Amino acid sequence: MHLSYCDGSIQGKRPYQEDTILNQLLPDGYFFCVLADGMGGQVGGRIASETICEAFSSYFSHKKRIEDPASELYLALMTANELFKEKIAKDNELHGMGSTVIALLIHEQTGRYSFLSVGDSPLYTYRGGGLFRLNSNHSRYEYLKRLAAEGYLSPAEVKVHRERHMLTSAVTGEEIVLIDQRDGVLLAGEYLLLASDGVQILDDSVDGVLSDIITNSHGDTEYIINEALSEIINIDYHEQDNSTLIVINFAENGDGIEEEIKPPTLTQHQGGTRRIKNRSPLVPILLFLVIILFILVLALVFVKSENNGPREIIDTSSLNGEIAPFASLSKEP
């Protein structure tokens, strides 16, 4: 079993990008990713989402073990909120800035995960041919959907209603009113999708457009990213928000996400995708072939010394039976 990861983002019709994402490989076989959607204007929104990711990264970078994923996520969130308070106290222009957040810890071998979310950024799972939202929506959007169910609004009106982005909870440096935390297990062939609310311009119902894209992907996470973002661009909504999507698939083949932990980098990008490569199963085969080749070379040298002159003793003590290791795989930018 292994995890396949891909992410991508578009700026939409906004003059600036306020979404920030980050992913890290952690000890004990855990993989961490976070998506933050900032608010507060061009400067405040960007600083808010970056602050979230920087705080989570700093918190987990000092962890040598992950014993209780849910507790670790909560403590990292409190660290981020405190950092918000400090930055706002130093710069009055940042007053009013805030951010949503979805943070996920998942074990790459077992598929067990814990998530934490604040705000309206959706976290989905795809299983059994359907798409389901996992986290609560801390915004007026849920209220608007109830109005549509009662016939006061149409589903199309809800999708573009100006109040749909009004949050009932966010990370602002003050008390966080609502926090959603849950645990689960991702099974083979299932997906987790972390998104900023701009992605919700797509039909995200059980059998909607986003579900169809995943169904047709055949396990290709990059295909899902490209098709989803292309659909958003083709809708061409005149007030399209920043749209960011992270896709994680738990597949049966392969060896898992590479184990080398790289220094994390914040990502604010208009388009494109990033992948974490799977460790290639050819590496142990190549290592075996190198060892065989080494033995054959030694045998040829021995035979030549027997036939052409006095036997020459080859000193291999310095080798200690070791072969230099292959360079470890690294993540693509």
Q: Quick one: average pLDDT of 196-214? A: 95
Domain with CATH 3.60.40.10 in the chain: 2-279
**Cβ count within 10 A of residue 181:** 17
Pick from 3, 8, 5: nearest CA to 21: 8
Give the DSSP H or E segment for 294: helix 282-308
Question: What is the mean predicted confidence (pLDDT) over 95-123?
Answer: 95
The answer to whether 91 and 59 are in contact (CB under 8 A) is no
C-alpha span between 23 and 25 (Å, rounded)? 7
Q: Is 0.85 topped by the overall pTM?
A: no
**What is the chain's alpha carbon radius of gyration, rounded to the nearest angstrom?**
25
DSSP of 108-168, one letter per residue? TTT-EEEEEEESS--EEEEETTEEEE-S---BTHHHHHHHHHTTSS-HHHHHH-GGGG-BS
Question: Rounded mean pLDDT of 218-236?
Answer: 96
* Three-class secondary structure of residue 54 per DSSP: helix
Of residues 141 and 225, more confidently modeled: 225
Average pLDDT over residues 209-234: 96
**pLDDT of res. 156:** 87
pLDDT per residue over 70-96, tens digit each? Answer: 999 999 999 999 999 999 999 888 888
- Please, how many CA atoms are within 13 Å of residue 200, restricted to the half-sphere of its CB? 24
Tens of pLDDT along 282-307? 444 666 676 777 677 666 655 444 44
What separation in angstroms does the CA of 192 have from each of 16, 49, 106, 113, 176?
A: 27, 21, 10, 10, 25
CATH number for the region 2-279 comes to 3.60.40.10
112: number of Cβ within 10 Å: 15
Quick check: helix, strand or coil at residue 66?
coil
